[in-house]
Structure 1
Amino acid sequence: MKVLKFGGSSVANSQNISKVVQIVSNTAANTKVAVVVSAFGKTTNKLIASANYAAENQPNYLDLFNEVKDHHFQVINDLINSNQKETVETRVENLFEQLKTLLEGCFLLKEITPKTMAAISGFGELLSSFIISEVAKQNLNTTYKDSREIILASNVFDKAQVNFKVTNKNCQDFFKDNGHQVTLLPGFIAKTETGFSTTLGRGGSDYTAAIYAAALNAEELQIWTDVSGMFTANPSVVKQAFAIPQISYQEAMELSHFGAKVIYPPTIQPVLEKEIPIVIKNTFDPENVGTLITKESGNTKPVKGISHIENITLLTLEGSGMVGVSGTSKRLFETLSNQDVNVVLITQASSEHSICVGIYDEDAEKAANAVNKAFEIEIERRKLNPVTVEQGLAIIALVGDNMKNHQGLSGQMFSSLGKNNVNIRAIAQGASQKNISAVIDSNDAKKALNTLHEQFFEEKIKQLNLFVTGVGNVGERFLAQVHQQNEYLREHLKMSIRVVGLANSRKMVFNTDGLDLNNWKELLENGEQASIQQFFERSKDFNLRNSVFVDNTANQSVSEIYENYLRNNIAVVTCNKIACASNLENYKNLKRISRKYNAPFLFETNVGAGLPIIDTLKNLVASGDRVQKIQAVLSGSLNFVFNNFNASSSFHNVVKEAQNQGYTEPDPTIDLSGIDVARKILILARESGYELELSDIENSSFLPKESLETNNNDDFYKSLTNNEAHFQELFQKASEENSRLKYVAEFSEGKAKVGLQHIPTDHPFYNLEGSDNIVLFYTDRYPVQPLQIKGAGAGSDVTASGIFADVIRTGNN
């Protein structure tokens, strides 16, 4: 014999019930089956709500009652043949009359007792099991049996304790004389020793099925639900979660205790003793193998699943009066037990100075009051502190029978959480080492689950979640590179990148599953109104692991919010030089916060676009080298301009071409005034370990006063035309010396300057072509022949590639 249990979602409507009957029919072709069913989906919740409304003297209790009644009669109308419909409707009408009488009593008395609530909440199973049995009878050899005539329980009207001796005998006696191929039974309900209806607790239909399976020594217990087995994590929270093919009884109990709602925790106990296998199956995908629960774990993988419980409160009792005093723990747990408070987690320091327990939020107030009262004398004498209450927490748990045989699992767990700034409030690990539990802020639960799942179950593919602002030339090329290279990154670097948020100056758009980069322009155009602060708030609220904020702008307001991102463990990657060239204290503060919150702050493209200038400099300093002098051409745009400007060309036209090709900033004054180069040499000096302000950089601008005083691009370009003779004179003087014009940045002996220079033919800068940059590092190790870095230093493609490289560096952090 097999026992099949179908949950509320499996019997939620007529269509689903038809699927259930077909599954039963297929199974009954080879063996006898006992079928236990829950109430139709959401019915129990509605009955309980209706009862509470009635007890509060609210007439709308009848609305819920009628809603439930209409649904049941709709199923009868859909599935019962016309010749049987009247008989079935009469029986169901009688049940609803009994239910209505109980509700009316609550309404008149303005109260509801546990006994009445148990009776009312059990009607859902009585109705569903009878109706489904009548549907099955139309095609199968089926009988119906009320579970209250078999299962005897204690005189408790919620989570009643089963009298297995009597129940097992009742069950065996009934089925011994039962010749039907299919037997329909209601789950959840039982009869007390005094003859009243009671319930086995929410989720009790699973338990009912397990009771029958154990009593009958069933071949198998099948739990049919709306998911294909027990998953490595909650699939609604962790998209990459997958069904576990086989799991042990102990692992299943641990996972179900810690929030895996596929199976009710007490279900496993009756079948465990007789080693009856449990199979978790999907009603809506019956061919899926699901999860097999047996004595054996199935494989040697150390971690079998990750689960979590929400709405947890930590109570902490501490004080010197606990140290060496026996009986403190006994008094604490006795007090909680007397208040019917369920303790979910316990941890105590070896110093015996404190005991910390995790309980459900709903019990927090009464638990705290009871504990403070129980230890009132010790608290008054200041030997103990009043109990500390921390709410808004969650418990995450790693579960696996083989965890005890693998070293370093705790280290991996806490290290991966720490890297994502998930703060751990308490830890518990049993001596069996089948469970490692940690209490965290509930806001971090999703991030923590995904982080741990990535660590223990996925093919070590690290997922980066990007929030990108700025989609001009550089931003657009960056998105194209991300889209193009994602498969390569997954295969070769075990990294996956998705863009979760995207913004320009007008619009912003978000998708926690990742934006489709095939049509990001359309998505952004149809997005919501952009706001720098709101973009940050949304990025923070998503609270995703491995989050990276990418700034492709030259906007000062955007740069001023970097600190907020870093403080929330969101890495910052930027080509925007304003932050790193701002006042020294702000620069140092950003670096300090980056280290404190383990959030990378990377800005390689601040100097030299895609060239590895800053990275090389960092490696020199980290290895103990000391920078003595830096000489550099750091403006790709200025190098392009002076490489193309001559006696036969217009300075205005050359600058315009540089902007058209994406070499200059949107405001070309930033490049040509020298401020951009000054910022770059300042950043290099700071990264070399020197403390300078931008005002310390000597800037000898070659632009005439008229150009420097313009306020917009049109006026700026007009000023270039007006001063063409000035620019031709600069060119002519360099030509007379057989030199070329280069805008050079220099740092030496703690001082820095930028300006236009005449570069002779024997200088390394002379043959610098196009928009190339070059940097010469003179250090203790390179005192005569400098370390030289040379290459393209401007352009949207190379700048985007530098940003991309920094994003990858965050993934390797």
Structure 2
Amino acid sequence: MSSGSTPTSATPEELYRNSADPNVPWIVQKYGGTSVGKSLENITNIVESYILSGTNVAIVCSARSSHTKALGTTNLLLQASREALAPPSASSSSKENGRAGSLSGTATPYFPKRVGSGFFGKDSIMSSSISSLSQLDVNNNTRSSSPSPFTPSSGFRGRSPPKSPTTVEAEQQQEEEQGFHKTVDILKKGHLEAARNSLKSGPLRDELEDEIERDCESLRGFLYAAQIIDEISPRSQDSIVGTGERLACKIVAAALRDRGVDSELVALDNIVDSSFSEVIGDAALTATGDQGVAQLGQAFYDHLAIKLGERLRECGERVPVVTGYFGPVPGSLLAQIGRGYTDLCAALCAVGLKSSELQVWKEVDGIFTADPRKVKNARLVPIITPDEAAELTYYGSEVIHPFTMEQVIKARIPIRIKNVENPKGKGTIIYPDESFPRSLNTQIPQKQQELTIEDRMPTAVTIKDSIIVLNIHSNRKTLSHGFLARIFGTLDRAGVVVDLISTSEVHVSMAMQSFTHRHRLTRLITDLEKIGDVSVSKEMAILSLVGRNMRNAIGSAGAMFTALAKAQVNIEMISQGASEINISCVIEEKDAIKALNVIHDSCLTYPPTPVDPPQ
């Protein structure tokens, strides 16, 4: 089912199609990985309903994830990349030494580029890999699993003869060399099961299964080649990760066709063509950003949006099913954009088609005044501004990446967050015009609405967990401006992102995400101790109150901190953004849920719930 192919399932007159009228408005729908993995029936019903309502639909899909993102296709593909570069070893000690000696430099933010052979020469790797491949050819069905304990060759426990050290070492080496083969088999099995569960038996499903088999075996060959040359370039890493979107979109396109919606797979592997060279220019390829990666300018994304719009219109009346992966870009797709490139692709498709709306379908009804899992009376926010959505995304509420949002908002296209499990819900709309009137809470009596109480209320409160606070007090050996310059220089060299900062002439407090590796924090503290006295507060959380109208509302900060004081929640540090739509403070993580409820009741509920001091 290659790009542009027409699966043969239903007769043409039975299929639902987009309108051929160029004046009919477009809607671009983006579906996340868990929606593709668990709610495919709902997706097809949603697409069909919008077509019947007289709207042209284009959909963009992430790589499928049947349960959680941690077990999703993208993570498995990244794992397979790691496994392809794992050096063979005969013992755990040599394995650690070999890996430590062979990692040099960083090709992408995720995986190292191995430019040396470490303790194992390339001839050794190549010969062992070829031996492994020969074994796979002999017994292709058993490459990803160990022998069953019930097969005659294994016998019963205690009856089989003891294995010699040579045999054990050989099995360990074979298991390591087949690591990525096992991961590819898991991917293939999951997608084949999804195809069989989603489509009726017939030629269309058979064709889809053949496509999945071909893609997975092509991925296996790619990883095997990477293992032999002992390197995965940034462009190769992008291509490996892009396999997930290709597989997901093939399943979605076939499922739509199987249910009577005329669809076309749109793979964007070659969308970035020679026409981009004039747009990019030499400057974009040489100018480096914060992490040393060439940054693409807005002209690149504007041109890409035009190309995407042209490509999707070529589908005619078919519903385009677009891969979120849009091919190799200068500087690597993962390095330039990160794993949120599917959202960006959907945004650029909406801009290119001049869509009436970009819809982001999730597993929640929209944006709430607080996390409904933690605050029982949290309510849905019907309308929100881009600034508020960006603040909420940064401080813990996953909405949509600010850069992605910017592409759509500047084209004056609204973004709607909707629930794939509740399609009839109105969701939350991120409206491009800040002067757009906020929707008043219908639960507030009309007389009180006229007093614009709602307009003076904040929009939402959110919590960001796993925070540490670094406090640095000057040793007075440097002037105040030199004190701050040395601190920020140290943070820049360490690649540390600071969430909140509070400063005085001789004291700086910084809140940041906890480090995954303890040695990074130790090294940072060692460097900062050369500047001043350092203390660390761990197991903290950032509490943020966000609202566009807070800049004109007197007493918002007072109400927030008074409520926390009455609830006996200690505040470590306070910060207010320059935009004046966000007031944040750092508290102990153990008080996070209590503080969230206290602030919601006192600042986001009308009339506010009185906060009584604990007995």
* TM-score bin (small chain): 0.5 to 0.7
| Structure 2 counterpart of 1:269 | 406
Q: Distance in 2 between matches of 1:97 and 1:258?
A: 41
> Which is further off, 212-221 or 176-185?
176-185
| Structure 2 counterpart of 1:356 | 509
Q: Quick check: 1:191–1:197 contact (8 Å CA) kept in 2?
A: no
Q: Distance in 2 between matches of 1:229 and 1:333?
A: 37
Measured after TM superposition, the shift of residue 54 of structure 1 is 4.7
Alignment partner of 1:32 is 2:56: yes
Which has the larger share of strand? 1
Q: Quick check: 1:335–1:370 contact (8 Å CA) kept in 2?
A: no
Alignment partner of 1:9 is 2:34: yes
Q: Quick check: 1:249–1:293 contact (8 Å CA) kept in 2?
A: yes
Measured after TM superposition, the shift of residue 321 of structure 1 is 3.1
Q: Quick check: 1:392–1:441 contact (8 Å CA) kept in 2?
A: yes
Q: Quick check: 1:304–1:399 contact (8 Å CA) kept in 2?
A: yes
- Which has the higher relative contact order, 1 or 2, with Cα contacts under 8 A spaced 6 or more apart? 2
Q: Distance in 2 between matches of 1:100 and 1:6?
A: 27
Q: Quick check: 2:28–2:359 contact (8 Å CA) kept in 1?
A: yes
Please state whether the residue corresponding to 1:10 is helix, strand or coil.
Answer: helix
Residue identity matched to 2:55 = T
Alignment partner of 1:52 is 2:76: no
Task: In structure 2, list runs of 5 or more residues that go unmatched.
Answer: 1-25, 66-71, 88-175, 286-290, 440-454
Write the deviation string for residues 478-527 of structure 1: whole angstroms up to 9, x where unpaired: xxxxxxxxxxxxxxxx8xxxxxxxxxxxxxxxxxxxxxxxxxxxxxxxxx
Measured after TM superposition, the shift of residue 100 of structure 1 is 2.1
Alignment partner of 1:425 is 2:579: no
Q: Distance in 1 between matches of 2:295 and 2:240?
A: 15
| Structure 2 counterpart of 1:89 | 209
Q: Distance in 2 between matches of 1:158 and 1:5?
A: 28
C-alpha distance 165-291 of structure 1, shift in aligned 2 (>3 A)? closer
Measured after TM superposition, the shift of residue 10 of structure 1 is 1.1
| Structure 2 counterpart of 1:125 | 245
Q: Quick check: 1:204–1:264 contact (8 Å CA) kept in 2?
A: no
Measured after TM superposition, the shift of residue 119 of structure 1 is 3.2
C-alpha distance 157-210 of structure 1, shift in aligned 2 (>3 A)? farther
| Structure 2 counterpart of 1:209 | 346
Q: How does 1:483-632 map to 2 (within 5 A)?
A: 599-600=614-615
Measured after TM superposition, the shift of residue 277 of structure 1 is 0.6
- Quote the RMSD (CA, aligned, Å): 3.2
Q: Quick check: 2:466–2:541 contact (8 Å CA) kept in 1?
A: yes
Q: How does 1:18-417 map to 2 (within 5 A)?
A: 18-29=41-52, 30-41=54-65, 42-56=72-86, 58=176, 59-81=178-200, 82-104=202-224, 114-138=234-258, 139-150=260-271, 161=296, 163-193=300-330, 200-294=337-431, 295=433, 296=436, 298-299=438-439, 300-319=455-474, 321=476, 324-349=479-504, 352-362=505-515, 379=530, 384-417=531-564
Measured after TM superposition, the shift of residue 17 of structure 1 is 0.7
Q: Distance in 2 between matches of 1:105 and 1:390?
A: 47
C-alpha distance 339-195 of structure 1, shift in aligned 2 (>3 A)? closer
Aligned residues: 458
C-alpha distance 336-98 of structure 1, shift in aligned 2 (>3 A)? farther
Q: Quick check: 2:456–2:552 contact (8 Å CA) kept in 1?
A: no
Q: Distance in 1 between matches of 2:334 and 2:584?
A: 38
The structure that has the greater radius of gyration is 1
Write the deviation string for residues 270-318 of structure 1: whole angstroms up to 9, x where unpaired: 0111221111111100001111110236141421011122222223332
Residue identity matched to 1:439 = V
> Which is further off, 301-310 or 112-121?
112-121
Please state whether the residue corresponding to 2:35 is helix, strand or coil.
Answer: coil
C-alpha distance 52-2 of structure 1, shift in aligned 2 (>3 A)? same
Write the deviation string for residues 345-369 of structure 1: whole angstroms up to 9, x where unpaired: 22213xx112222222127857656
Measured after TM superposition, the shift of residue 99 of structure 1 is 2.2
C-alpha distance 281-408 of structure 1, shift in aligned 2 (>3 A)? same
C-alpha distance 119-331 of structure 1, shift in aligned 2 (>3 A)? farther
Residue identity matched to 1:362 = F
C-alpha distance 370-330 of structure 1, shift in aligned 2 (>3 A)? farther
C-alpha distance 98-224 of structure 1, shift in aligned 2 (>3 A)? same
Measured after TM superposition, the shift of residue 90 of structure 1 is 2.1
C-alpha distance 78-398 of structure 1, shift in aligned 2 (>3 A)? same
C-alpha distance 375-244 of structure 1, shift in aligned 2 (>3 A)? closer
C-alpha distance 96-159 of structure 1, shift in aligned 2 (>3 A)? farther
Q: Quick check: 2:386–2:405 contact (8 Å CA) kept in 1?
A: yes
Residue identity matched to 1:65 = V
Task: In structure 1, list runs of 5 or more residues that go unmatched.
Answer: 463-493, 495-544, 547-597, 601-813
Give % identity. Answer: 29
C-alpha distance 113-443 of structure 1, shift in aligned 2 (>3 A)? farther
Q: Quick check: 1:118–1:198 contact (8 Å CA) kept in 2?
A: no
Q: Quick check: 2:494–2:524 contact (8 Å CA) kept in 1?
A: no
C-alpha distance 460-63 of structure 1, shift in aligned 2 (>3 A)? farther
Q: Quick check: 2:466–2:589 contact (8 Å CA) kept in 1?
A: yes
Q: Distance in 2 between matches of 1:277 and 1:191?
A: 29
2:590 to 437, 443, 464: 443
C-alpha distance 461-169 of structure 1, shift in aligned 2 (>3 A)? closer
C-alpha distance 288-418 of structure 1, shift in aligned 2 (>3 A)? same
